[in-house]
Amino acid sequence: MVIYAVKDYEEMSKKAASIIGAQILMKPDAVLGLATGSTPVGTYQQLVKWYEQGDLDFSKLTTVNLDEYKGLPGDNDQSYRYFMNTNLFDHVNINKENTFVPNGLEEDAAYECGRYDKVIEATGGVDLQLLGIGGNGHIGFNEPSDSFEKGTHCVALTESTIQANARFFDSIDDVPKYAYSMGVGNIMSAKKILLVASGQGKAQAVYDSCFGPITPQVPASALQLHTDVVIIADEAALSLCREKGVL
Ligand SMILES: O=P(O)(O)OC[C@H]1O[C@](O)(CO)[C@@H](O)[C@@H]1O
């Protein structure tokens, strides 16, 4: 695990984008695992900037997203498909047919989870997986639990995640209660993992994930077992690590 300490959100975004950009330059037909949430937005903006400058070509890439709300169609402005389109895909020359997000409208959870695992498998494997992290250490929608999930699964979101997401909806009742998410096993299968974290609200999660015991109660702690993980965190997100003297 390599931890890059950066000053702030802007620096985190530039550094993360440079690692993704290098991956695209080295392997134009790479498979990228992508994430939503507010943290990677600046990373996507930087990638779009480099695309507009003519420095990056997205045309041969395949992408697979971590998760999607169950019950939301892709054109709902809170769906993760919509997020990916508006934050990245609509602004670059990616072939959208090669961009995959779980189908939030599929009601049959067992069917959708099996289908999405096959989609991931058919890509030949993720070269670089981008991750954000929840304040409780969740990755994708893998919430704290008694065991690590291997494959794509249907998750009942925790109250804290529902509360955290409520800011994006008109009322808390509109926040979906279930989501489809890749499992920790899917995430760990990526060749390289890049986790971005910004702000004081992530300090506990970053400390627990990097320096605490490996436990499904902190899903991101599984990353300690992966051989190629890069964490880019700003000083606020690293504040507890600093306080405890581990960095
Ligand atoms: O980047 P944010 O908005 O803090 O979100 C953190 C995490 O929460 C999620 O948005 C899901 O609740 C994840 O996709 C993300 O990694």
pLDDT at 189 (0 to 100) = 98
Does the pTM surpass 0.95? The reply is yes
d(C-alpha 198, C-alpha 195), whole Å: 10
Mutation to probe ligand 1, out of 79, 138, 155 (largest number of atoms < 8 A from CB): 138
Residue 77: which residues within 8 A CB-CB, separation 6 or more? none
pLDDT at 73 (0 to 100) = 95
Active-site annotation holder among 65, 87, 136, 165? 136
- Comparing CA positions, the residue from 172, 139, 173, 141 lying closest to residue 154 is 141
The reply to whether ligand 1 has any atom less than 6 angstroms from the CB of 39 is: yes
Residue type (1 letter), 191: K
Which stretches does DSSP call E strand in the chain?
2-6, 31-34, 62-65, 67-69, 99-100, 128-131, 153-156, 178-181, 192-197, 229-234
- Comparing CA positions, the residue from 107, 134, 128 lying closest to residue 31 is 128
The reply to whether ligand 1 has any atom less than 6 angstroms from the CB of 38 is: yes
Which helix (H) or strand (E) segment is 18 a member of? Answer: helix 9-26
Q: Is 153 one of the catalytic residues? A: no
> What dotted CATH number matches 2-235?
3.40.50.1360
Residue 40: which residues within 8 A CB-CB, separation 6 or more? 16, 34, 130, 132, 196
pLDDT at 191 (0 to 100) = 98
DSSP three-state, residue 196: strand
CA 103–ligand 1 middle distance (angstroms) = 19
pLDDT at 164 (0 to 100) = 81
Q: 108: exposed, middle or buried (C-beta count within 10 Å: 0-12, 13-18, 19+)?
A: exposed
Kindly write down the DSSP assignment for every residue of 102-123, as one continuous string.
--TT---HHHHHHHHHHHHHHT
Residue 14: which residues within 8 A CB-CB, separation 6 or more? 46
Query: Which numbered atom of ligand 1 lies nearest the CA of 67?
Result: 14
**Which residue has tokens 């390289």?**
192
Encoded tokens for 154: 């249907």
Which strands form 31-34's sheet, in the order they lie side by side?
2-6, 229-234, 192-197, 128-131, 31-34, 62-65, 99-100
Q: What is the pLDDT along the chain (247 residues), one digit of tens a residue?
A: 999 999 999 999 999 999 999 999 999 999 999 999 999 999 999 999 999 999 999 999 999 999 999 999 999 999 999 999 999 999 999 999 999 999 999 999 999 999 999 999 999 999 999 999 999 999 999 999 999 999 999 999 888 878 988 888 899 998 999 999 999 999 999 999 999 999 999 999 999 999 999 999 999 999 999 999 999 999 999 999 999 999 9
